[in-house]
Structure 1
Amino acid sequence: MIFENGRLAVRVLEERDLKLMTKWLSDNAVLEYYEGRDNPFDEKKAEQVFLEVNDEETKCIVEYMNKPIGYIQFYKVDEKTRMKYGYSDENIYGIDQFIGETDYWGQGIGTLLVKSMTAFLLHNKGAQKVIMDPQTRNERAIRCYEKCGFKKVTKLHAHELHEGIYQDCWLMEYP
């Protein structure tokens, strides 16, 4: 277990979670903002993406009341990316997440997740900043991140290829 906070728990993703990842990443509502509706996952693709050994990312399942409902990953931001965004030698972590069970949207669980992961990274990993880069059109996510104390720092023009179009994103940071 990475951490628990009340009814929320985050644990490392395991092979047994591939069916869930495939389910979530073939749902158009989830894909609208994460990966793209033109990029649905099957189990083989989920295995390649999520079980690939990558020491830089910790890939996790989010559980709420002991039910897997989403995904979050965290990683230490490398020097090249820090320089690109104008950061110095600070200890910076990045996070990416989604709630895959859409019945759990709009209940404050995403806010609890982002606040909890941010606190974990600050206190357990010594992060000085936590960053993320949501698409500017993902207003629901941006509101959630702002409630968690993240601030918009820079608009990243044509930052992410999504459904065949380069999307603008916000570089957001905490604190």
Structure 2
Amino acid sequence: MIIYESGLLKVRKLEKKDNIRLVKWLSEPSVLKFDEGRDKPFDLDKVNKVFYSSEDDEVRCIVEYDNKAIGYIQFYKLDSKTSMFYGYKTELIYGTDQFIGESNYWNKGIGTLLVTSMINFLVENKKADYVVMDPQARNVRAISCYEKCGLKKVKILPKHELHEGEYHDCWLMEYRK
């Protein structure tokens, strides 16, 4: 099922057949450097458990560019506990997580197109007041991309994410409608 399209970019719901792609991407050290961790590569069992048996409210999607699957994005409405932790009160807030798994599609503006179009989708179709992300503070490429898309750094989240055996600071970044 297609969630949205923007030019050559298409975001569609994750299908069972995508599990092999996820294994490929999530066992690649260059992808795992900032996502999941190089010390925790995925195999088929782990992909099936994490992406296909979860009972949460995340909408999991495959990113296609020019009809080729190149990455993953998920979006979700923040629960009240997470919203309060981040400092929000009653606003409608969505979060996203994404990566481009095919490295030959990096540095071509596709990530910027993906994030911008997802923000537009969430604001227009889900009536989001805010869209937030929490990249690791050391992930300069992702932060630069998100800033190009209109997100602003709000506050540092000290030791927020366990990654490769260490807790890392993350930035809370927001797009405000």
Superposed pair shares fold, TM > 0.5: yes
Matched, 1:146 2:137: no
Q: Which runs of 4+ in 1 moved over 4 A?
A: none
Could you tell me which residue of structure 2 aligns to residue 6 of structure 1?
Answer: 7
Deviations 1:4-35 (A, max 9, x none): 00000000101100000000000000000000
Over 3 Å counting, the alpha-carbon distance change for 1:55 and 1:166 in structure 2 is closer
Mark the runs of 5 or more structure 1 residues left unpaired by the alignment: none
Query: 46-55 or 56-65, which moves further after superposition?
Result: 46-55
| CA drift at 1:85 | 1.1
Supply the RMSD in Å over aligned alpha carbons.
0.6
Deviations 1:27-70 (A, max 9, x none): 00000000000000001100001112434100000000000000
Measure, in 1, the Cα distance between the counterparts of 2:168 and 2:55: 26
SS at match of 2:18: helix
Measure, in 1, the Cα distance between the counterparts of 2:66 and 2:53: 28
Aligned AA (1:117): M
Matched, 1:92 2:98: no
Matched, 1:133 2:134: yes
TM-score (norm 1): 0.99
| CA drift at 1:92 | 0.2
Could you tell me which residue of structure 1 aligns to residue 35 of structure 2?
Answer: 34
Measure, in 2, the Cα distance between the counterparts of 1:18 and 1:40: 14
| CA drift at 1:141 | 0.4
Number of matched pairs:
175
Measure, in 2, the Cα distance between the counterparts of 1:2 and 1:138: 27
SS at match of 2:31: helix
